[in-house]
Chains A and B, each alone.
Chain A
Amino acid sequence: MSLTSSSRTSISKTQSSFMDWVDRNKRKWTGWILISLVIFYVAFLILTPIIALTAGAFEKGFGEVIDSLNQPDVFLAFWNTLWVSLVVVTIHTIFGTLVAWVFVRHRFPGRNLINGLVDMPFAVSPVVAGYMLLLLFGRNGILASLVESLGIQIAFAMPGMVLATLFVTLPFMIRELIPVLEAFDTRQEKAAATLGASGWQTFWRVTFPALRWGMIYGITLTFARALGEFGAVLVIGGGVQGRTETATLFIYRALDERQYIGAYSAALLLGLFSLVLVLGSDWLRRKRR
């Protein structure tokens, strides 16, 4: 404790001795060059493309943007995206909490391996994710006959797209909640139990309030990722116009059909949606501190 506080004061006293050195010697150009290099890189890599998209969408005026978005196809695509994302977020909120809970509180053989596997969707290609589901539920799929006899269609239908998005967004909720649960003092729960609270009451009144913020960030990240999912949904859903077409799949088709304003406008709208979500949760996080 004393170590961390002492090092912190030394940081605040002088930004750094390295800095002193730079000050004495070549601050004039070293610092200046490094800062402008970074600003230039970020502006080139991240800001220019964002500005280009905005400019591209509004190239023919605001009216064109509205007209291109005011189509039944576009409405349905965004509705499908929203629907899939909401279902996915709901499922991950419930089961992700359970998984995080089990990882933090339980010890069982294979726990480390499974814990490592949870990160896999982060690195597995979305195309491969969709393809896995196709192997399970597509034509000649392993589970195809079983699912068919139940009268549910999974491949090339909404349930398949929900499953694909569930796979792709799996780590977010769990990874957001595990550190919160690890930091949580279990004595509070024990105290509640001693005072006669039932397991459910203890969770709802003691544990859940501590998890709430982690859950909100987990939901935001899951939601933003689900809104933008493309590859997995394309493979398992097929992108059937007017049926399984989501917002990203619409953008892809519009580009293909050279309806550039429509593609750019939809891309801008979708980007804004997830930007507002993520920035909103960042803002909440900062406000809470």
Chain B
Amino acid sequence: MNLQTTVTEANKKRSTTLSWGQWSIRAIALGYLTVLLIIPLLVILQDGLQQGLAEFWRQVTLPAAWHALQLTVWTSLVMTVINIIMGTLTAFVLVRYDFPGKTILNGIIDLPLAIPTLVTGVMLVILFGPQEVLGAWLKERFDFSVMFAPPGIILALLFLTFPFVVRSVQPVLMELDLAQERAAATLGAGGWTIFRRIILPPMTLPIITGALLSFARAIGEFGSIVIVAGNIPFRSQTAAVYVFGEVESENRLGASAVSIVMVAIAFSLLMIADYLRKRSKSSKEEMYESH
């Protein structure tokens, strides 16, 4: 008894000294995030809105800025649609089929995460540059230019974001219960019906999450696009490249206003993705609890 009280006393004493230490750890961690993350984000908000909402809106809707934002959004959308289709297909093939070279294919999918985006841009220039073999042939034969045009932007974005949908769908596909598919097949459902009615529904949420991440990542992309698309207003200038140009020419208001729009898009997309991830997590927990 005596021993036990001394132990609890010692514990109590330790927990009070620990909590002092824990307090300083919390203060350091939050201070670090404030300095690195929150202050810069607030500064850009303050700077873009300091002349009022009307001026902010005027800067955003300046023809060049508006065009750059539109180009960014539509190229990212096209990329996201292709990514949804090809990413889901790739995950499906990787989970459901066995073929020689599958392990290598699985490894290649992560390569874009390891390659600097500027290097991605350089790679595409070598392939599709107007003086290069492939680029010159496409231009001459089909009058189709990849460089300094939207196709180049979409291609660069596809390269960068390829892993997101695949890696989001793959684990869900692996966990699918195959008894359902077998039952559907026994009941006479065709392959396409099985895919649409049984395989697709549980994959919807991970597909959307992957798509949102791809889109959010694409909105701000700079390194590869500035190389592939250059900086031609009204043709191949995306929002990030526009902001860069405005910073260089010291148009502070324009740079801040377009930056705010980009940050707002990124923030809302991430919040939705986060919400969906939490929802799928909790629905999965419910499923396991009910069993």
Contact = CB atoms under 8 A, between A and B. Distances in A.
Interface stretch (A71-79, A121-129, A179-187): A121-129
B112 interface: yes
B185 A10 contact: no
Classify chain A's interface size: 35 or more
Interface in B117-155: 117-120, 122-127, 155
Given A17-B179, A38-B90, A126-B223, 19 more contacts: A15-B98, A18-B96, A18-B178, A18-B199, A20-B185, A21-B194, A34-B92, A39-B101, A120-B41, A126-B240, A131-B255, A132-B259, A135-B43, A136-B40, A193-B14, A235-B244, A252-B118, A267-B122, A275-B115
Classify chain B's interface size: 35 or more
Contacts of A132: 40-41, 43-44, 259
A119 B119 contact: no
A30 interface: yes
A25 to B, nearest CB: 7
A267 B118 CA distance: 8
Contact of B108 (A35, A46, A95, A234): A46
A46 B108 CA distance: 8
A123 B123 contact: no
A156 interface: no
B96 A42 contact: no
A288 B112 CA distance: 24
A interface, by DSSP: helix, strand, loop or mixed?
helix
Nearest to A114: B33
Contacts of A19: 96
A267 B246 CA distance: 27
Contact of A21 (B38, B191, B223, B240): B191
B29 A117 contact: no
A147 to B, nearest CB: 13
Nearest to B186: A17
B interface, by DSSP: helix, strand, loop or mixed?
helix
B7 interface: yes
A15 B105 contact: no
Interface string A264-283: 10011011001101110010
Nearest to B191: A21
Contact of A120 (B117, B174, B270): B270
B80 interface: no
A52 interface: yes
B114 A50 contact: no
Contacts of B101: 39
A89 B26 CA distance: 21
Interface in A164-182: 166-167, 170
Contacts of A20: 182, 185
Contacts of A234: 244
